[in-house]
């Protein structure tokens, strides 16, 4: 059997064989959903610290820490997601190794505040290494259970192990080398899958399963952004900002979230991903699609931080609080949305060359940034509402154009 579920093999141990990439009705498992939910705890911690730094005007420090911590979260999630799509066996050892990665994610989350505030990445690195070494054990299972891809799976195991040695060694480097070493090790990490897949038949990931996993994680991160913004709006509603300000911030934020959801799920990705498996020319497309979601996830989570900053500033309007001026504050919302739109435009166009999504979404990104400057003349809550309306207009224009060309969102 090639689907990792051989008849007569005990649930205590199933060979880590390759699953069928054309398996019908392949869906995310409860364990995968638990995995996603626990990883969002780390995402929430990263977005929360970003919010604190943005609110204090420490934009550069906040963005740098956020980019570094979010890379660790995202990269562990990505690697395990693609492994599970190709080799998820759901026996006891597999479940325990996935749960060990969840433990690593929670350790990483615990280290986020000190990583942001004191640039001490020892706890974050410990959580990261726990997750990655658990993945090495999973790749060794695949090496044993999938003889046709042993060259591929051993490259994954060796490459990940060497990278983890590098991350641990980095903790002993002097401060001036920490930034450069992070870039070098980050590039090494993202190069491992490309290098490994070149050694033999590609790992048998499932297009529909991958598209669903990415979509579900996007939904969860969108939900986290709504939760963060809701908490801030609740606090703002009890201050002197006024009910009208709260309504405008809440309405604008919801319009943005609805628009991001629409732009993501209006174009199912599984067809393009499935086609890429059968095309040598497009073999790098899955990497581009998967790696591009670093920006997608990071921008969605950062949106929640931006909405928190906006809600707090709107609540303290007129009290002499000058942490950020109104235009930069509006940009904490507009920039993540613009980044999201540009990358989604690139990804949609890459999946379907006939779809000029980049033109529409790229124009939408420019519109969002321009709309943020309205804060120079309008109150900040009204600007957020304008940003929400601008995002809705982008989605409406795109939907109208697609409907005119006979696109069916449900297809």
**Residue 120 pLDDT exceeds 50:** yes
Q: Which of 197-206, 224-233, 275-284 has the highest mean pLDDT?
A: 197-206
- The Cα–Cα gap between 254 and 259 comes to 8
Nearest in space to 98 (alpha carbons), one of 113, 111, 86, 83: 83
Q: What is the pLDDT of residue 91?
A: 85
Three-state SS string across 6-49, please?
A: CCCCCCCCCCCCCCCCCCCCCCCCHHHHHHHHHHHHHHHHHHHH
State the pLDDT confidence band at 270, using cuts at 50, 70 and 90. Answer: confident
Domain with CATH 1.20.1410 in the chain: 207-404
DSSP-derived secondary structure letter, 410: T
pLDDT above 90 coverage of the chain, percent: 58
| Cα–Cα dist 183/178, whole Å | 9
* Per-residue pLDDT at 211: 92
φ, ψ dihedrals at 325, nearest 5°: -70, 165
Is 167 in contact with 129 (CB distance < 8 Å)? Answer: yes
Please give the C-alpha separations between residue 232 and each of 48, 121, 229, in angstroms, as whole numbers. 11, 28, 5
**Average pLDDT for 180-185:** 96
257 pLDDT higher than 60: yes
CA distance 226 to 301: 10
CATH number assigned to the domain covering 207-404: 1.20.1410
166-192: average pLDDT: 94
- Report the pLDDT averaged over residues 56-64: 88
Paired tokens of 266: 């209006």
Q: Could you give the residue ranges of the DSSP H alpha helices within 111-174?
A: 112-118, 122-145, 150-170
**Mean pLDDT calculated for residue range 43-72:** 91
pLDDT of residue 230: 81
Q: What is the mean pLDDT of residues 77-99?
A: 92
Band of residue 169 on the pLDDT scale cut at 50, 70, 90: very high
Encoding tokens for residue 37? 């939910």
Q: What is the pLDDT of residue 404?
A: 65
Judged against a pLDDT cut of 60, whether residue 306 lies above it is answered with yes
Measured over the CA atoms of residue 346, residue 347, residue 348 and residue 354, the dihedral's sign is positive
pLDDT of the residue at 148: 92
Least confident window among 47-51, 118-122, 403-407: 403-407
| pLDDT given at position 12 | 64
- Span 322-333, average pLDDT: 79
Q: Contact at 8 Å (CB) between 158 and 36?
A: no
Structure confidence at residue 403 (pLDDT): 76
3-state percent breakdown (helix, strand, coil) of the chain, nearest 5 = 75, 0, 25
Cβ atoms of 276 and 288 within 8 Å: the answer is no
What's the whole-model pTM score? 0.89
Give the list of residues 6+ apart from residue 252 with CB closer than 8 angstroms, or none.
381, 384, 385, 386, 387, 388, 389
pLDDT at 200 over 50: yes
Give the model's pLDDT for residue 272: 80
Is-contact 201 277, C-beta < 8 A? no
* Average pLDDT over the chain, rounded to an integer: 87
Query: d(Cα 374, Cα 154) in Å, to the nearest integer?
Result: 55
CA distance 100 to 96: 6
Cα separation, 411 vs 406, whole angstroms: 11
Q: What is the pLDDT of residues 43-52, one digit of tens each?
A: 999 999 999 9
């Amino acid at each position: 059997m090639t689907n990792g579920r051989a008849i007569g093999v005990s649930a205590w141990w199933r060979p880590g064989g390759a699953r069928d990439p054309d398996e019908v009705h392949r869906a995310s498992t409860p364990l995968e959903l638990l995995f996603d939910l626990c990883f969002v705890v780390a995402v929430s911690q990263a977005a929360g610290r970003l919010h604190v730094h943005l609110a204090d005007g420490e934009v550069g420090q906040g963005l740098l820490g956020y980019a570094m911590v979010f890379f660790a979260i995202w990269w562990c999630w990505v690697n395990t997601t693609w492994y599970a799509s190709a080799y998820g066996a759901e026996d006891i050892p597999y479940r325990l190794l996935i749960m060990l990665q969840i433990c690593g994610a929670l350790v990483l989350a615990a280290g986020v505040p000190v990583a942001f505030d004191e640039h001490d990445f020892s706890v974050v690195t410990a959580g990261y290494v726990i997750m990655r070494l658990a993945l090495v054990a999973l790749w060794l299972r695949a090496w044993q259970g999938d003889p046709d891809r042993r060259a591929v799976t051993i490259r994954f195991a060796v490459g990940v192990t060497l990278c983890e040695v590098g991350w641990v060694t980095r903790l002993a480097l002097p401060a001036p080398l920490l930034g450069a070493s992070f870039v070098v090790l980050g590039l090494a990490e993202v190069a491992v899958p490309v290098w490994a897949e070149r050694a033999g038949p590609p790992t048998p990931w499932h297009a529909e399963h991958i598209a669903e996993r990415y979509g579900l994680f996007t939904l969860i991160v969108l939900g986290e952004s709504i939760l963060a913004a809701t908490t801030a709006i609740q606090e703002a509603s009890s201050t002197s900002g006024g009910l009208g300000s709260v309504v405008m911030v809440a309405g604008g934020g919801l319009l943005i979230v609805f628009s991001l959801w629409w732009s993501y799920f209006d174009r199912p990705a599984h067809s393009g991903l499935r086609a890429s498996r059968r095309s040598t020319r497009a073999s790098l497309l899955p990497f581009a699609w998967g790696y591009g979601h670093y920006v997608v996830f990071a921008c969605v989570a950062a949106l929640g931080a931006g909405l928190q900053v906006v809600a707090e500033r709107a609540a303290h309007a007129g009290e002499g609080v000058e942490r950020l001026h109104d235009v930069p504050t509006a940009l904490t919302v507009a920039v993540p949305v613009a980044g999201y739109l540009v990358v989604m435009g690139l990804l949609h166009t890459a999946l379907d060359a006939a779809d000029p999504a980049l033109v529409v979404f790229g124009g939408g990104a420019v519109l969002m940034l321009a709309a943020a400057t309205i804060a120079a003349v309008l109150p900040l809550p009204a600007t957020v509402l304008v940003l929400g309306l601008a995002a809705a207009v982008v989605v409406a224009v795109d939907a109208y154009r697609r409907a005119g060309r006979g696109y069916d969102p449900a297809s």
